[in-house]
Structure 1
């Protein structure tokens, strides 16, 4: 099962910059178990609208069945790991 973590962000978003190192570290440690898709809401408003993103950062963990978990605001690594495991990563 393919697991994706969608990272909705904007260049002007301060909390997004706080989230980045957490995601980088997680991606490094979990290697090929999931894919990170970075979505700049200024450039991809249609995708942001499709997922009803209203605040940044928004992180969405998704698998073949759809959205497993959604986080709004800076999210700790442990919470992301739990959601990734639930999604089957």
Structure 2
């Protein structure tokens, strides 16, 4: 799911939402993408997973102080609860997701 400035607030308002801030020219972002896509599939229905292209949505990147990419933020009911910068393994992200879900 691609988030835009127009859809962002409504999408993250309820439940858990994981947002990957990335850019197409970013090598580490391209390496992180398959992990994020797999997590979206594995946690479908429990955590909303989406992406924000920082080149196209600079306002959102600025709003959350994104200085390096990839940066990923886990939101709960619209509020950021965890911010991750750089590459993270699927196992690391699963542990964060499971903790947030209380599993």
Same fold (TM over 0.5): yes
Structure 2, unaligned runs of 5 or more: 1-13
Deviation at 1:77, TM superposition (A): 1.4
Deviation at 1:86, TM superposition (A): 3.1
Q: Which segments of structure 1 move beyond 4 Å, counting only runs of 4 or more?
A: none
Q: Would you say 1:21 and 2:57 are equivalent positions?
A: no
Cα gap change, 1:31 to 1:65, in 2 (>3 Å): closer
**Mean Cα deviation higher: 24-33 or 12-21:** 24-33
Aligned match of 1:49? 62
Deviation at 1:65, TM superposition (A): 6.0
TM-score, length-normalised on structure 2? 0.78
Q: Quote the Cα distance in structure 2 between the aligned partners of 1:20 and 1:58.
A: 12
TM-score, length-normalised on structure 1? 0.89
Aligned match of 1:33? 46
**Mean Cα deviation higher: 75-84 or 5-14:** 75-84
Query: For 1:32, what is the secondary structure of its paired residue?
Result: coil
Q: Report the RMSD for the aligned CA atoms in angstroms.
A: 1.6
